[in-house]
Amino acid sequence: MTMKTSHRPSWAEPYKIKTVELIRMTTREEREQAIREAGYNTFLIRSRDVYIDLLTDSGTSAMSDRQWAGLMMGDEAYSGSENFYHLQDAVREYYGYKYLVPTHQGRGAENLLSQIMIKEGDYVPGNMYFTTTRLHQELAGGTFVDVIIDEAHDPASRHPFKGNVDMEKLDRLVQEVGAENVPYISLEGNVNMAGGQPFSMANLKELNSYCRKHNIPIMLDATRTIENAWFIREREDGYADKSLRSILREICDLTDGCTMSAKKDLLVNIGGFFACNDESIFLKAQNMVVVYEGLHTYGGLAGRDMEAMAIGIREAVMEEHQASRIGQVRYLGDMLRQAGVPIVNPIGSHAIFIDARKFLPHLDQDEYPAQSLAAELYLEAGIRAMERGNVSAGRDPVTGKNRHPALELVRLTLPRRVYTQAHMDVVAESVVRVFENRDNIKGLKMIYEPEYLRFFQARFEPLT
Ligand code: F0G
């Protein structure tokens, strides 16, 4: 392993188990009924019918005994809760932003940021879209423009920093529409939709000097930025001896503010925040949060949730925590790779992404190969994964057509500190069984399509 963890023989968990939650294996007949009732959408399956739940790493991680103890220290005051100040201290210490506005989760912060900074007709460049982030930008009157490097759209490319911004694409946009119509650049750490791929510090530095010159703020989606810091240390010259903590701080110091879904890196079941250094933006966010979330010292959270988040920040930057986290994801990915299952490379930090186009080459993209594969994996073994392809990408607001993204993926997402190595073995064996039977997998037809973020609630029927 890397030098920071050389005192540990492997990625073994830096904790032991104090409480367990029982899970249930179902029969094939039960799963057939469950997936039919769920309209072949894994979001609509009841969790009690799931054996190993790899739907998401969002809000599904296990809290530590310290975090649970923190819940008991909740100061449930409507205003000025002590826990808000603990959270503010932790954000200032580890992320370095001056001003903090808590929100109930990431999209609450995205709403504030988008409403405050975007005006009708603006263009918002970003290193690949995220579903909720782009929707809030569009609802605020903006148009998202993808400026990630081309390699990010190629599952086979081994580029070490597929989350990098393509500076030429960005400059082309700025020249075309004018910097005054670019309210900020939306920069995501460990780009989720690209397969959990990091940006490099060199790229961020270049972006920072470009944006300073053109007076464009950099707004970080900090949701998985500590995991991004891990890859910078592992892959980028000059960082091998630095702590995760110092790399995280360096990233944040090169940006102007962030939105955060604390349900990922920060090891809590609910929570998020908006943070920034500009007082006038902060004052607007502080005022707007009262409309959508709650008073500015709780933002839709209980005091206890903010305490758990403050403690979660300190645990998330621990070297041995991230070594184990990333080690477990790699363990699963390596098993699948060795069995010939097509996955996105390099392996990211929060999930293994199966390339559904390669897995099911006989299906057209409008037969929703990734959605079909996710349903099939549930049927096979009670394992719940998530579609990240044609359904997630939605329709183009102008043409109304399916966006047909280059990446048609199934995400096996690992909650933090939840599953064991034996669970990973079961997952790999099950995926391989489905792979061996891939020629028999049929596509799906969408029979119900909601207007916003359709992947959450769309329903399907098998094609005959
Ligand atoms: N940004 C990123 C990069 C995310 O992955 C998510 C959520 C959000 C913002 C929104 O945060 O859910 O707290 O409102 N991702 C989850 C996932 C849903 O499964 O990838 P939220």
Quote the CA–CA distance of 464 and 459 in Å, as a whole number.
16
Phi-psi region of 404 (alpha: psi -120 to 50; beta: other; left: phi over 0): left
Phi-psi region of 59 (alpha: psi -120 to 50; beta: other; left: phi over 0): left
Ligand 1: centre distance to CA 162 (Å) = 19
Q: Which atom of ligand 1 is nearest to the CA of 262?
A: 13
Question: Was domain 66-315 assigned CATH 3.40.640.10?
Answer: yes
Ligand 1: centre distance to CA 44 (Å) = 18
Ligand 1: centre distance to CA 432 (Å) = 28
- How high is the pLDDT of residue 89? 98
Q: Which atom of ligand 1 is nearest to the CA of 224?
A: 3
Ligand 1: centre distance to CA 392 (Å) = 13
Cβ atoms of residues 276 and 113 within 8 Å: no
pLDDT band at 8 (very low <50, low <70, confident <90, very high): low
- How high is the pLDDT of residue 464? 85
pLDDT band at 111 (very low <50, low <70, confident <90, very high): very high
- How high is the pLDDT of residue 7? 56
- C-alpha distances in angstroms, 120 versus 18, 143, 181? 52, 9, 9
Q: How far is CA 296 from the centre of its chain?
A: 25
Q: Which of the listed residues 104, 223, 413 should we mutate to test ligand 1's pocket, taking the one with most ligand atoms within 8 A of CB?
A: 223
Say which residues have a Cβ less than 8 Å from residue 286's Cβ, sequence separation at least 6.
99, 101, 296
pLDDT band at 275 (very low <50, low <70, confident <90, very high): very high
Domain ranges of the chain: 28-57+319-462, 66-315
Task: Tell me the pLDDT tens digit for each residue of 113-157.
Answer: 999 999 999 999 999 999 999 999 999 999 999 999 999 999 999
Please compute the mean of the pLDDT values over residues 4-21 and round it to a whole number: 82
- How high is the pLDDT of residue 2? 47
Domains 28-57+319-462 and 66-315 share a fold: no
Rounded to two decimals, the pTM is 0.95
Task: Tell me the pLDDT tens digit for each residue of 24-52.
Answer: 999 999 999 999 999 999 999 999 999 99
Q: Which of the listed residues 43, 58, 186, 220 should we mutate to test ligand 1's pocket, taking the one with most ligand atoms within 8 A of CB?
A: 58
Task: Tell me the pLDDT tens digit for each residue of 374-401.
Answer: 999 999 999 999 999 999 999 998 999 9
What lines the ligand 1 site, CB under 6 Å?
Answer: 56, 58, 105-107, 130, 132-133, 188, 192, 221, 223, 261, 263, 272
Question: Was domain 28-57+319-462 assigned CATH 3.90.1150.10?
Answer: yes
Quote the CA–CA distance of 269 and 311 in Å, as a whole number.
13
Mean pLDDT, all residues of the chain: 96
